[in-house]
Amino acid sequence: MTEEEKISIVTGRGMWHAGNSRQIMLCDGPNGLRKQDDSAVSNNDSIIATCYPTAVTIAQNWDPDQVRRVADGLANECILEDVSVLLGPGVNIKRSPLGGRSFEYYSEDPFLSGITGTAFVAGLESRGVGTSLKHFAGNSQERFRMSSNSQIDERALHEIYLRAFEMIVKNARPSTVMASYNRLNGVYSCQNRELLTDILRNRWGFKGLVVSDWGACTDLPGSIRAGMDLEMPDSIGFHRPSLEKALREEKDGSMRRALDRAAARVEKLITDTFPDDKNRKIRTDIDTHQVAKQTAVGGSVLLKNNGSLPIKKGTVIYASGPLYRKLRVQGGGSSHINIRRDPDMPAALRKEYEVVEDPKEADVLLYFGGLTDEIEGEGYDRESLELPDTQKEDIRNLLSTGKPVIFIAFGGSPFIIPYRDEMASILYMGLPGEAADEAIMELLSGRVSPSGKLAETWPLRLEDTPCFGFFSTDSRDIEYRESIFVGYRFYDTFQVPVQFCFGYGLSYTSFSYDGLKVKDLSTVKLKIKNTGTVSGAEVVQIYVRNPEGDFLRERRSLRGFKKVFLEPGEEKEITISLDDRSFQVWSVEKGDFITCGGEYAIEAGASLQDIRVRASVHVEGENVSAGDRERYPSYYPGAKRRPVFSGADFQKLYGREFSDFSRRGKGEFDRTATIREMSRASLLARLVAGIVHREVVKMSSSGKDNDPEVRMMEEFILDGTIDAAAIQSDRMIGDDLVRALIEDANGHHLRAVKELLRGGRK
């Protein structure tokens, strides 16, 4: 490649292609194929494709084999459409149930996320289709996602936030990893050498390519030096001069070497995933709709049942709720699939029961509700755990009839279920994809027993969530004060009561556990028996209970699991291998994981709070050093204090200076500033914000303010870096306007006018 070709190949071609003369296409993902033309105006303007359940429901399967089937279905569609790389899976840890993109992520637990993501990536890659493991890393919230700084201490980073990425990189070798929008510990991910080179390549041995999230690269030479290889999308000439300048002015050849490396990796990705690759063959034995259906069935969680489920033939049903006639089966934003078939719940119900319009005439009342697209989506976080008042009122009215009410709940993340105690049964579907209606009928009728388990804790109150007060606030400087106590690690360690615990889910049958044996601290054997009257599957979960001492550790963590299908009366002995990190912690002093010696318990159960059998084991290991113990002193057992660290405590375990990106003022704005940030100081920015809002509403398919597409676009343009906003607004915001905005916000109003005039003359 000539230098010119190298400069050009490290930047995308248009929105979705990469390469020079030989080009490949990269498309969203991950719960279906979102293939768009470059000329598409609306986010939802893509080819029709199978809409699989989103990550929340996929993870609730706790079944890597089923995830492989999804990956196989997706691979077929990518091969058919000449798509080289599918942009997924998303494996960020769910730090708070309020996260707007929770539906796109698997779990609050890194091990479950890692196993699920490994199956997904391995499945696609084995068929010659590339994947993009995203969003690397610390991208836990939507608010200020392009300008925030995630401040995470070293142990939480390695034990929680990086762990799933590490497992998948090592075990499934994704072709690409996508660097996230946010800053991590002060540095934008795309420019973060520690993340992209020291950890990803040197520590984990990643051999693939690092692609920027769409618009996340603002400093092309700096990012290439740090370890990013491909900026997406095409930066329409904005970034090229800076790379040329860096090459011209460098003295030691390091910029040229970094460019060579990046260009070679893009070339390799093209060769490995090019549509004519011999590996890429359609498998004719896959029915993608059936895969979507089975995944929805296996990932639905029965949260409560007083016996009203399954519903017997001949029962008279009344069904209502905001999500009854239009089931919510997927989320909004870059993962939105142009669905092949809209589920038809009324028709599906009528096929099996003769359905009435008046609740008074019915035996059972079904309510279809939960989180709507306006409440959660890409680009914006939720504000509360409550459902809208209208849904609460609906449910109260149904309950007042005195008839059994069954709640069919949808949503990408936990919420407070109103009148939980009074409801007869609750079935949580997550976001179940295109076959939602069929999947619901399998479960309501009892043809299949529910077997999904929660991959995230359902808290009782927002105030109970571990990052309460430190999530999606007005600040761009986010302190991850709860450290390693994410999700159940927090509720379990400090005995905080919850609505439903991690790993929870009921069945129409029952299971007994017996005969647990641990071999070589690496495998667990036990017997599971179906003691009920119908067939069903159980997710057996293995938790390791840590020794208590003067070093900070969570009480327990998930270290293995297996889904087992059993006929009534059938018993199986199963073997579950333990995660190789089961007895390890990250030592800041060593800069590596160490095995911690002591007395541990291996516990097997049907959920975190339903442990059935256990065994004690002794582990030989190292003593944690005095330095590590001083940095992470234990707060339990029996800790009465709220275990969120104070600013001073957190400073001690964070060990770095806190950032102050929230209070940029006059003189400090540059191309990484956002229009909203600059609006505080600039009339011009306020004017532009108004125009952007009007234009985005006009461009959307619905023309409405609260349309999720509008909210996502608006957040992107107003709270993305001005650089990315300019590139992706397709020159609506030109380079002269960018310069004028920055000058105006920095208090140089005359210079701003000059820039505007220059732009006008052009």
Least separation, in Å, of the C-beta of 43 and ligand BGC?
9
Alpha helices by DSSP H, listed for 250-331, are: 254-273, 288-298
CA-closest candidate to residue 565, choices 62, 78, 154 = 62
Taking the C-alpha atoms of residue 703 and residue 700, their distance in angstroms, rounded to an integer, is 5
The residue (of 144 and 586) whose beta carbon lies closer to ligand BGC is 144
Least separation, in Å, of the C-beta of 186 and ligand BGC?
21
* 8 A C-beta contact, residue 676 and residue 146: no
Least separation, in Å, of the C-beta of 710 and ligand BGC?
15
Taking the C-alpha atoms of residue 375 and residue 460, their distance in angstroms, rounded to an integer, is 19
* 8 A C-beta contact, residue 122 and residue 73: no
CA-closest candidate to residue 398, choices 415, 414, 418, 384 = 418
The residue (of 58 and 602) whose beta carbon lies closer to ligand BGC is 58
Structure token pair of residue 245: 């300048």
Note the maximum CA span of the chain: 84
The residue (of 546 and 728) whose beta carbon lies closer to ligand BGC is 728
Structure token pair of residue 705: 């303010």
Identity of residue 191: Q
Among 153, 213, 272, 464, the active-site one is: 213
Least separation, in Å, of the C-beta of 336 and ligand BGC?
10
Least separation, in Å, of the C-beta of 607 and ligand BGC?
31
HEC secondary structure over 93-159: CCCCCCCCCHHHCCCCCHHHHHHHHHHHHHHHHCCCCEEEEEEECCCCCCCCCCCCEEECCHHHHHH
Taking the C-alpha atoms of residue 449 and residue 429, their distance in angstroms, rounded to an integer, is 14
The residue (of 30 and 222) whose beta carbon lies closer to ligand BGC is 30
Taking the C-alpha atoms of residue 597 and residue 577, their distance in angstroms, rounded to an integer, is 20
The residue (of 334 and 546) whose beta carbon lies closer to ligand BGC is 334
Q: Residue written as tokens 């005195």?
A: 402
The residue (of 89 and 466) whose beta carbon lies closer to ligand BGC is 89
Backbone angles phi, psi at 543, to 5 degrees: -110, 140
Q: Is 188 helix (H, G, I), strand (E, B) or coil?
A: strand
State which H helix or E strand residue 615 sits in.
strand 610-619
Least separation, in Å, of the C-beta of 340 and ligand BGC?
20
Q: Which residues bind ligand BGC (CB under 6 A)?
A: 28, 87, 134, 213-214, 334
Least separation, in Å, of the C-beta of 134 and ligand BGC?
5
HEC secondary structure over 733-762: CCHHHHHHHHHHHCCCHHHHHHHHHHHHHC
Structure token pair of residue 735: 């380079």
* 8 A C-beta contact, residue 452 and residue 300: yes
The residue (of 30 and 343) whose beta carbon lies closer to ligand BGC is 30
The residue (of 215 and 452) whose beta carbon lies closer to ligand BGC is 215
Structure token pair of residue 655: 């060990």
Q: Give the residues across from 598 on adjacent strands.
A: 619
Structure token pair of residue 736: 């002269």
The residue (of 613 and 718) whose beta carbon lies closer to ligand BGC is 718
Least separation, in Å, of the C-beta of 292 and ligand BGC?
21
Taking CB atoms within 8 Å and a gap of at least 24, the contacts of 591-599 are: 593/158, 594/621, 594/622, 594/624, 595/619, 595/620, 595/621, 595/622, 596/546, 596/547, 596/551, 596/553, 596/621, 596/622, 596/624, 597/621, 597/622, 597/623, 598/546, 598/547, 598/549, 599/547
- What's the distance, Cα to Cα, between the start and end of the chain in Å? 35
How distant, in Å, are the alpha carbons of 284, 692, 696 from that of 725? 43, 10, 12
Least separation, in Å, of the C-beta of 425 and ligand BGC?
35
Structure token pair of residue 297: 């069935």
The residue (of 28 and 267) whose beta carbon lies closer to ligand BGC is 28
The residue (of 28 and 63) whose beta carbon lies closer to ligand BGC is 28
Query: Is the Cα torsion angle 203, 204, 210, 216 positive or negative in sign?
Result: negative
Q: Give the residues across from 210 on adjacent strands.
A: 177
Least separation, in Å, of the C-beta of 30 and ligand BGC?
8
How distant, in Å, are the alpha carbons of 465, 691, 694, 733, 752 from that of 685? 36, 10, 14, 11, 11
Structure token pair of residue 447: 């043809």
Report helix angle 288-298 to 436-445, nearest 10.
Answer: 50
Taking the C-alpha atoms of residue 205 and residue 200, their distance in angstroms, rounded to an integer, is 7
Q: 213 an active-site residue? A: yes
Least separation, in Å, of the C-beta of 237 and ligand BGC?
20
Catalytic residue list: 213
